[in-house]
Every structure is written in structure tokens, then in C-alpha cells.
Amino acid sequence: MTTKVPEMAGSVERLLSPEPEVRIAQAFQRSFDNMVATARTCYSANGIIHEDDVSGVESLPPEKREHKRKRRDELARDLYEAGHHTTLQHAHFQFTLNNVSRQFLWSFLHSHPFYNSEQVSQRYVEVKPGNYVVPPLTGEALAVYQRTIQSQVAAYQEFCRSLVPLVEAEYYERFPARGKRREIYGKEVQKKAQEVARYVLPVATFAYLYHTISGLTLLRYYRMALQEDAPLEQRIVLEKMVQELLRLEPDYRVILQEPIPREDTTESRVLAAGGQGEDPERARRFAREFDAQLGGLISKLVDAPAANEDLLAQAVREVMGIPKDEMSDDDAIAWVMDPSRNSYLGEALNLDTLSKVSRAMYHARYTFRKRLSHTADSQNQRHRLTPASRPILNSHLTGDPDFATPGLIRRDASIQERYEEVMSLSWEAIRRLRRMGVPGEFALYLLPNAANVRFTESADLLNLRHKHTMRLCYNAQEEIWQASWEEALQIREVNPRIGAFLLPPCTLRYQAGATPYCPEGRRYCGEPVWRLPIQDYRRAI
């Protein structure tokens, strides 16, 4: 095992924009010693092993401390190489990150289940000019890149203004009384306008966030730092994260592995085996084939095992030890899915994984084929237990504008025309950069948030139910709300006894008898959705 640490071999390129800022804000104390102590505890006949038992205390003679630490390092290396990695999951590290792109967050940092993030929201915080990644370009390529992003940000500011009348019409129709106090509610209207306007912003736009991961996840990050779609930015950020770790605990050098070289990643080898990593015509054929399968939907149900409801009902009976002649399938499903019987569903906490009955939902599964904008999928992927096979965006580039259009923009022909003009300019700049020989990873930063992302997503019912509870709320982002609504309706078609209870939080709380029905407080959407059948759900903002 190599233990060379940052900088990585060959790491000479640097971003022209302000460097990503990475700091450990909170961390376990003596986490490396703790890793070994937890391992030794598994085989201890004398109770809990503590950190001092692993590496020794200062009162010990130097030679004894050195002997203890040598044994500690040998055990740590042995555990690591054998794949016994649960010991690395005890210690967590909370990072603060600044000057990192939305593309990096989507492609790498949030593309797996084992993390927690709280990042600045483009829905609620206005984006200021100048806050974006600039890759190492020169000459005319740099000029094209800079001009394009400046025009995208200018268009964002323009839409933040031009969309206000459309938002006002919808907002004050929903909240008539607030129309008399526009000086108070004008900020809410403005936020709704910028939520839609953000679709024209580039994925190069900076974000800042708290990001918490285990020691195991950090080691995995570093090993996979050079995969597509943003390997340069990933390398820089991951170098800094590991440097922060080693600043606190240099002992991690014992088990730290270098990143897999970019050309050796499985993804790069698959593309190389195809003869050409980037093929616009192949990408066009793929997109046409994929979209035809959607049949006009955002999210198409493509697989639901025929035994879903039977499995769910039988699992409930198994938990309770009740034979089928004493509990019908209908009753069993109602006990787990109906809030009037399963009162956990009216709780603010998601208790499903801790409820013996609710865990029966694990056995029913659904698979969807989906097309969302980059910005909508950035929220969609935060539902970490409804995983998806997200694409290498570079291999999906057709060279043609390929984007989602929010419903509010479609309501005004002149605004939609301007929106499509901005999209055309963005893609033309990407094509121009590629003709200049700019690597795809750098040209991708000019993709607008509206760029379509195509993938397949699968989920067990337990985690899909929670996702639908959160995203069928009228406050959810428009596209992810639309996708969840389409999914719930399709599940009703194939599994009506399950689908009947895929509902927003207010309706579940209403059925559970929990008050207030809407849990959002002052963020109440203004619609008594709990009174509506799901088929009648409609929203514009």
C-alpha cells in the first residue's frame, strides 16, 4: 500500500478562481486511536478498550509508547487491508467548504449515501456576480468562458425582475389577504422569482456548506478523487480535506491510499473501450431513445415487482406472528400504510426505520426512469436512500441545447423566448470551447442549471414513502414535486393499496389526527392540500 500524501502526482493545474476553502470545523478527538480501540474491544475479555490502552500515555517510558504505537499501526493496517472498515465509521469529521461549484457537489460530494450536508440554497439566497469556478484556460477560450458566465448571471438578474409580475399574480391569488401588505410579503415573491431564475445560472456557480462524513468516507473520497466529471476540482478539494485530516491526526498516513489514476478508473476504461469518450451523435441517439421511453413524463415507472403488495402484507403478519386467516392483506397493508392506524406516520420524526411494522415496507420496490434538470436533481439526490445511476455528463453532451423549462416561464411567451435564447447562447459557448480543444470537464461548467440529466432510480417503499411525503408538499421544488406526483399516481395504478397512502405531510397528518395539519408553520403554502384528491393537485409556484 502506498502512503504518499498530497499533493498528488502530477497535480500542477490550478483553478483561476479563488481556491476552494476547506476546514475541519468539528472532529472526534484521537479518532485514529479510537478506530483501533473499537477493533480490540470486539475481542476483549476485560471490557471496553480505551484510546490510552492503544497508544499509551505520556507517563510511559518512550520505548514502551513506541512499542504500543507500532502494534497499533500494524493492527490498523491489517484491519484496513482485510476490509474490516466499520471501525473507521465511528469517527466523523465536519468540514466547512467555500468556493466549490454546484457541478462538483452534484457529480461527487453528494453522489453517494454516506454524508450529511447543509449548503446555501439558490432557491432562497440571491446569487451575486463573480461567484463561480474558472478553470485553467487562457486566451480566447478564457474570454469566451468569462463572457458566457457574465451573460448567464446577467440573465439571472434579468429574470429575477421579469418573473416578479407572474409570481405576484399566482402568490396573491393564493394569499388574497397578503396582497394588501405587499411591503411585507414582497420578499417571499422575490424568492419565488429567483427560484425559477436560477435555471439560467451555470453549474460553475459557487456554493458554501457544512459537510459531515465518517473517516471511512473520507478515505473513499480520496481514493476516487479523479473520476469524472470534475477531476481537477475534485483533486484540489480532496487534497485539502485530507491535508486537514492529517493536520489533526498524522497517524492516518498509515492507511491512506493514493487516488486511482484517472485512466485506470472503471468509467474511463469503459469509455475508452467504446473507442471514443465523446460522441455527440451517439449521445443524441441515447437521448432520443431515453426520452421516447418516458412517454412525456418526467419520471416513468419501469419496474414494480408483481408481488409487492403480497410481500408487504405477509411481512406485516410475520412481524406480528399472525396467520393469514386472521389478518387479510388489506388489513395488513392498512396497518403499515394508513396514518389512521399507523400513528407514526403523523410524527415529525421519520420513525419508519425503527418501527418493526414499518420496516415491512423494505420489501416492496420501484424503479423509475427520470429526466430532471441539473438543479432539480441536485435536490433529488439528497434523498440518499433512493439511489440512482447518474450519468457521466460529458458522455451525454450532444452539442444541442437540452434543458428543462419551468412552468412559470412557459406562461409568458416573451419570457420563454428570452429563456431559450439564453440556453442557445450557453450551448453555443460550450460548442465553441470544445472546437478550441478545451477539455470537456472545463466546458461542462458552462452548462446551465436547466441542463437535463437522465438516469434510472430505484427505491424500496420505506424510503420512497418518506421521499414522497417531503416532496409532494407544495413547497418542494417544482420538478421534483412533479416527478413525485407522477410516481405516486403510477404506483396507484399497479399497487392501489400502497399508492393510496403516498401523500404529502399535511394529508398524512390530517389522516393521523395530528394538528396542525401543515407542519410548515409560517411557510404554509396557502392551499388546503389535505382536502384534495391527489389527481387534482396543481401548482404554478
Q: Is the pLDDT of residue 261 over 90?
A: yes
Q: Is the pLDDT of residue 414 over 90?
A: yes
pLDDT > 70: percent of the chain: 97
Average pLDDT over residues 398-423: 97
- Cα separation, 480 vs 197, in Å, equals 17
Q: Are strands 365-373 and 452-460 parallel, antiparallel or unpaired?
A: antiparallel
Do 253 and 2 contact (CB within 8 A), yes or no? no
Specify the pTM: 0.94
pLDDT at 64: 85
Residues forming beta bridges with residue 211, ordered by sequence position: 95, 117
- Cα separation, 235 vs 224, in Å, equals 9
Question: Using one digit for the tens of pLDDT, what is the confidence trace for 326-367?
Answer: 999 999 999 999 999 999 998 989 999 999 999 999 999 999
Q: Is the pLDDT of residue 10 over 90?
A: no
Do 314 and 290 contact (CB within 8 A), yes or no? no
Helix (H, G, I), strand (E, B) or coil at 381: coil
Do 523 and 475 contact (CB within 8 A), yes or no? yes
- Cα separation, 481 vs 121, in Å, equals 17
- Cα separation, 375 vs 452, in Å, equals 9
Question: Using one digit for the tens of pLDDT, what is the confidence trace for 305-326?
Answer: 999 999 999 999 999 999 999 9
Domain architecture of the chain: domains with CATH:
21-119+206-271 (3.30.1360.170), 139-202+406-447 (no CATH)
Q: Is the pLDDT of residue 180 over 90?
A: no
Confidence of residue 3 (pLDDT cuts 50, 70, 90): very low
Question: Using one digit for the tens of pLDDT, what is the confidence trace for 83-109?
Answer: 999 999 999 999 999 999 999 999 999
Average pLDDT over residues 30-37: 95
Count CA within 13 A, CB hemisphere, residue 136: 11
Alpha-carbon distances, residue 267 vs 102, 392, 397 (angstroms) = 21, 8, 16
More confident residue, 12 or 155: 155
